Structure 1
């Protein structure tokens, strides 16, 4: 067997995944915090004020990365759910369900910062704009996945039912992405591109790139931590979990 495939196969073992997540989740959190700290410092203290929006534009350094993550996490969740349904891989069920609260949090941050930014720009906290409305629907989908997973007692049945909702809901992502192009919208079109030319001044772009990378690291750490907790709950009572709980502090690996 290919070494990479063998590694992924071994990672599907609950004890092996627990060791992996316990080791790497703190790195995700640490790198995420450090990277976002650099981005926020640049956003608040280095880049100049926008010539039209003044300092209020600085909220984009939180709003834009969170908006991108709200879509990316849903896509990852649907991908894990599809793999779990096709190949019946329990770890992918766990990872898919671990994505939902994280993605919901990014979506809430997106909607909140969008409303705060919209108040001085549009003169209102909320407008039933296509981009805002579809992002709100995305939040409801996340909450639906979380609620469905919690409503069914059998964990594997719950994960499959909630995963199916995630797979169906993925059709919303391109609607959100292209809503400003398809319909008249108060929301501005895409001006920032990680790959390709952006209309934002380069002096204002670099903190955003740090924030984008930082949110990816933070997501990785959060995903591993949440998946590990769910994995331990499912495996409660197994010998390896009892051995882990009874091991002295610092010797759980």
Structure 2
């Protein structure tokens, strides 16, 4: 793992891996979509239950991406490793997209279930909104500082602070009385979903996980190349 911290080794290792992840993500997405549409209607929610197959993976990947951003920020801040900083920066945009999608699909799901698009008093909704704002703040902070090293340090601190919100998002429905339903997958008694809903949901979550990894690795590789091109241009400008 630490050997891959070298940018050259990382590029060599991920060159064949990245297209494989894209193919796996595409195949799993196609299979999961077919399973989701083939699943029966829920006896209470009807066809609205199919929003689950988008909402749950999006919310899970929003947390996963921020975890990757936060851990990468730690290594970038403590060990001043350029590849860790590139990994943190690369996780921000897809993580924000997944979290934003979770908020939108949650509102679409909440309207027929709760009778409202949004519930300000729901701890899960508010903590996910705060997670989304951390993503936006991270990207805005990096874009607002011209010096890349200063921007990286400031963004890394913000990324670490945002990690505090992850357990709040996860356990908010257990700690407070909220409208949001409790966990359906990771629970003491096992998943509460029947197989006809559990199989497409797990397949979709695996597909989105592969998609995030493909996006993340591609973005890291692009960031490495961008920094190298920038360094070459800067050196040539100084020589000129």
Q: TM-score, normalised by structure 1?
A: 0.86
Give the deviation of 1:238 after TM superposition. Answer: 6.1
Unaligned runs of 5+ in 1: 240-253
Cα shift readout 1:124-172 (whole Å, capped 9, x = no counterpart): 1111121111111110000011111111222232122111101111000
Q: How does 1:99-138 map to 2 (within 5 A)?
A: 99-128=91-120, 129-138=122-131
Give the deviation of 1:176 after TM superposition. Answer: 1.0
Q: How does 1:1-253 map to 2 (within 5 A)?
A: 8-9=2-3, 11-45=4-38, 47-128=39-120, 129-193=122-186, 197-236=190-229
- Alignment CA distance shift 1:124-1:83 (3 Å): same
Unaligned runs of 5+ in 2: 233-240
The whole-number CA distance in structure 2 between the counterparts of 1:199 and 1:16 is: 43
Give the deviation of 1:237 after TM superposition. Answer: 5.7
SS of residue matched to 2:41: coil
Give the deviation of 1:195 after TM superposition. Answer: 9.2
Cα shift readout 1:148-206 (whole Å, capped 9, x = no counterpart): 11112222321221111011110001111111122221111112239961111122101
Checking the alignment, whether the CA contact within 8 Å between 1:28 and 1:219 is kept in structure 2 is: no
Checking the alignment, whether the CA contact within 8 Å between 1:82 and 1:167 is kept in structure 2 is: yes
The whole-number CA distance in structure 2 between the counterparts of 1:192 and 1:22 is: 34
Matched length: 231
The whole-number CA distance in structure 2 between the counterparts of 1:196 and 1:213 is: 22
The whole-number CA distance in structure 2 between the counterparts of 1:195 and 1:79 is: 28
SS of residue matched to 1:121: helix
Q: Compare 13-22 and 93-102 and name the one that shifted more.
A: 13-22
Cα shift readout 1:65-118 (whole Å, capped 9, x = no counterpart): 111111111111111111122222110110011101111000011001000111
The whole-number CA distance in structure 1 between the counterparts of 2:65 and 2:108 is: 23
The whole-number CA distance in structure 1 between the counterparts of 2:179 and 2:165 is: 20
